Structure 1
Amino acid sequence: MPDPSAILTIDLDAIAANWRDLAARHPSGPVAAVVKANAYGLGAQPVTRRLLAEGARHVFVAEFDEALALRESVPRDVPLAVLHGLVAGAEAEAAAAGVVPVLNDLGALRRWSTHAAARGARLPAILQIDTGMNRLGLGRREVERLAQDPAPLAALDLRYVMTHFVASEEPANPLNREQVARFDRLRAMLPPAPTSVANSSGIFLGDVAASDLARPGAALYGINPTPDAPNPMRTVVTLEARILQIREIEAGESVGYNSTWVAARPSRIATVAAGYADGYLRSLSGRGAGLVGGRQVPLAGRVSMDLLTFDVTDAPEAAPGGFIRLLGPDLPPDAVAERAGTNAYEILTSLGARYRRQYRGVA
């Protein structure tokens, strides 16, 4: 196999350690593994297998197709839940696959209930109540209608009633307590069922968000769930891209498209095998940085589709065939995201398919 142009290393041991830490912080109930969006870009199959081996007993994805792709990796006694629920007509396939739909509206609830009745067996489900996000879930009026006619619930094995925080990363935001109070009022109208409240940041709210099941995603993958404090999670990714060429240029010469970067001194420019086609965001143009031998080197010029250019004048060890680090413990996704004007979620989920991926701690 030829040497790779770029290597993305995913540390499954670190992901597992993050899961254990989150579980310890949520003593009121178990902690799920949220592996939607290909485990936030890091590989749903290996991440799921490792977290199941670690002890996770609930798995969440966003889309039904994601659940089908994971079906063989998740034992049938482990709930495999689909946050977006099911499109009409997918009920039979979902039941056969043994997935647990999150029911977000009364129509979906009735379809799943009708299918369960036709099969003559109660089917598992999670019911979502919207408490302020105004995306998915039953609103107040729908909960009131369901409370008046709860018959559709009789055909279901209601595993959890859940909600989703709007601003749990802001512990002082009064909306957190307001949402929990709203959730408690609305679920009290329905038959009793276990609850699921906390996401990654919600776990750090303590008793405010205590429930029977927490659903962390971002924190598993090293994204800071407490943005106003040091990150309590381990960094789980390292990305290194190969230096293809070093050019020596004079002061006044420019680098890259449209001459947006001009050398203020004689400079050494390293051309690196990565670009926005690989998920290195174009918004990092003029803002990004890499690491050579522990020394930070600035991105010179614009991010292009397949190439990056770095000013390595002050990193004499940079040489063709070597690597520049683009992500890692010393350049975490949150820091890169701040430079790019986005969040770390986008940094991870944008990671491209051209990187050679290697995993540490495979289950």
Structure 2
Amino acid sequence: MDQCYANNRDLGQASLAEAGAVLTIDLSAVRDNYRQLKSRLGSARCAGVVKADSYGLGAARVARVLIEEGCDTFFVAHAGEGLALRAEIGRGPAVYVLNGTQPGAELEATAAGLTTVANSLEQLEAWRAAARAVGRKLPVALQVDSGMSRLGMMPSEVETLAADASLLDGLDVVLVMSHLACADEPENPANAAQKQAFDQLRAMLPAAPASLANSSGIFLGADYHYDLARPGAALYGINPTPGHANPMRAVVRLDAKVIQTRTLDKNIGIGYGHTFRTTGPLRAATISLGYADGWHRRAAAGAYFNGVRLPFIGRVSMDSIIIDISTLPEGALKAGDLVELIGSNQTVDDVAGHAGTIGYEVLTGLGHRFHRIYEGG
């Protein structure tokens, strides 16, 4: 018993009894989302982006499900994420490090069979040095900056590389890639401009499979698919087509426990700063969720119980939120009951809209105090 308790602590996993909220992750929905994305790609392959611990949902569990679906290529942001993933999924699938390998981490990355994404000539030289150190040719992905100005070799660097083949000595270019800045805006001319720039830059480099499309990029059509697509957000239920119905299945449900309920009289201040005052008798409940759990203070989205919306009243606190339960029958909600924060009544994208942010930030910000339930694995 004690050992199990300690292991739960190491994993950041609280038991159902001790946790204030429950995060349910539907792996069958991840599986279906991957299948749908893959079906849109024709002959192009579909990778899985599992950086940031699969957007906070558990990279090891997600990757295993995707491997069962035939996915053999994964992308992480940092070498440390790649090392952790490799330990879970074995040596078979390819694991690419999007940010490139940090100085000093190259040999550990090569030992684990990670493939760096070289974003600059400096990173490329460090990877070449690693190849010399291990005495064998290493795979490398080359990222070019087609117009996002975030990561990737600038056109001048690509020209330098094209003019000097020795800069690739000891390396095998297995992928040439770039990243779309405006793929979630199909009419934005930046998409076509980036595609044109990408084609021009990769034509200067050794022939290799090409990759440009992220989740939203897949929905721009076949011209953007190339050889490999790299969906992330869409796998986890975030809408890749903003402004249109979400084609993906929801993956996440978040429910918080009621701590206590109370009946309040008129003109009672609620929460920090008394930003809300009652205008008449009101029944309230305090739920066990707050900004320490990744719930944005600006996300005044409300909670749901049996399909009934229960508005937030007052400010979101670190560990709790107060909700108005006056619309429920008296006694319908009691301590220990669960109210829905993300689910069938309110999606991740809905919550993001209330907070003035995006679903990516909502998912990756969800904390580690929840009891996690994985379904459909």
Question: What's the TM-score once normalised by structure 2's chain length?
Answer: 0.93
Distance in 2, matches of 1:208 and 1:295, equals 45
Q: Which runs of 5+ in 2 are unaligned?
A: 1-14
Deviation at 1:139, TM superposition (A): 0.6
Find the counterpart in structure 1 of residue 5 from structure 2. none
Q: Which moved more, 1:192-201 or 1:66-75?
A: 66-75
The amino acid that maps onto 2:368 is A
Equivalent position of 1:215 in the other structure: 230
Q: Is the 8 A contact 1:74 1:80 kept in 2?
A: no
User: Using a 3 Å threshold, how does the CA distance of structure 1 residues 117 and 354 change in structure 2: closer, same or farther?
Assistant: same
- TM-superposed CA distance for 1:2, in Å, is 6.1
Deviation of the 1:118 alpha carbon = 4.0
After TM superposition, give the deviation of residue 150 of structure 1 in Å.
Answer: 2.1
> What is residue 143 of structure 1 aligned with on the other side?
158
Q: Distance in 1 between matches of 2:33 and 2:16?
A: 34
Segments of 5+ residues of structure 1 without an aligned counterpart are none
Taking a change above 3 Å as real, the CA distance of residues 23 and 290 of structure 1, as seen in their structure-2 partners, is same
Contact 2:16 / 2:22 at 8 angstroms: preserved in 1?
A: no
Matched, 1:298 2:318: no
Q: Deviations over 1:46-102 (max 9, x none)?
A: 111111122111011001110111112223231111101111222211111110110
Query: Which residue in 2 is equivalent to 1:226?
Result: 241
Query: 1:177-210, CA deviations, whole angstroms, 9 ceiling, x for partnerless residues?
Result: 1101101011111111110110000000012312
Pairing 1:43-62 to 2, within 5 Å after superposition: 43-62=58-77
- Counterpart of 2:139? 124
Q: 1:343: which partner in 2? A: 358
Q: Deviations over 1:306-354 (max 9, x none)?
A: 1111001002222222111111132111000100111111110111111
More divergent stretch after superposition (115-124 vs 65-74)? 115-124
Whole-angstrom distance in 1 between the partners of 2:285 and 2:208 = 59
Question: What is the SS of the residue equivalent to 1:115?
Answer: helix
Equivalent residue for 1:175, pick from 174, 190, 195:
190
The answer as to 2:205 corresponding to 1:190 is yes
Mean Cα deviation higher: 181-190 or 113-122: 113-122
Q: Which residue of the partner structure matches residue 6 of structure 2? A: none
Deviations 1:129-157 (A, max 9, x none): 00111111001100011111022224212
After superposition, the CA RMSD in angstroms is 1.2
Aligned AA (2:337): G
CA–CA separation in structure 2 for the residues paired with 1:77 and 1:244 = 47
Q: 1:17 aligns with which of 23, 32, 38?
A: 32
Per-residue displacement from partner, 1:244-297 (whole Å, max 9, x unpaired)?
A: 11110112212111111112331110100111011111122xx22110111111
CA distance in 2, matches of 1:26, 1:56: 13
1:311-326 equivalences in 2 (<5 Å): 311-316=324-329, 317-326=332-341
Residues 131 and 183, structure 1, Cα contact 8 Å, conserved in 2: yes
Q: Read off the aligned partner of 1:25 and give its amino acid letter.
A: R
Match of 1:324, as an amino acid? V
Q: Which of the residues 248, 272, 283 maps onto 2:298?
A: 283
**In the TM superposition, what is the alpha-carbon distance from 1:119 to its structure 2 partner?**
3.0
CA contact (8 A) 1:150 1:190 kept: no
What residue number does 1:334 align with? Answer: 349
Maintained 8 Å contact 2:16/2:371: no
What TM-score do you get using the length of structure 1 for normalisation? 0.97
Contact 1:59 1:78 in 2 (8 A): yes
Residue identity opposite 1:143 in structure 2: V
Alpha-carbon distance in 2 for matches of 1:360, 1:273: 23
Q: Distance in 1 between matches of 2:337 and 2:271?
A: 21
Letter in 2 for 1:295: V
Deviates more, 1:108-117 or 1:41-50: 108-117
Instruction: Check whether the contact 2:106–2:130 (CA below 8 A) recurs between aligned residues.
Output: yes
* Superposition map of 1:195-274 within 5 A: 195-274=210-289
Q: Distance in 2 between matches of 1:200 and 1:116?
A: 33
Percent identical among aligned pairs is 47
Residue in 1 that maps onto 2:3? none
The question of 1:310 aligning with 2:323 is answered yes
Letter in 2 for 1:322: D
Match of 1:283, SS?
coil
Separation in structure 1 between the aligned mates of residue 249 and residue 344 of structure 2, nearest angstrom:
8
Whole-Å separation in 2 of the counterparts to 1:351 and 1:308: 15
**Counterpart of 2:113 in structure 1: which amino acid?**
G
Partner Cα separation in structure 2 for residue 30 and residue 254 of structure 1: 57
Equivalence map 1:19-98=2 (5 Å): 19-98=34-113
One-letter amino acid of the structure 2 residue matched with residue 93 of structure 1: E
Change (3 A) 1:108 1:2: closer
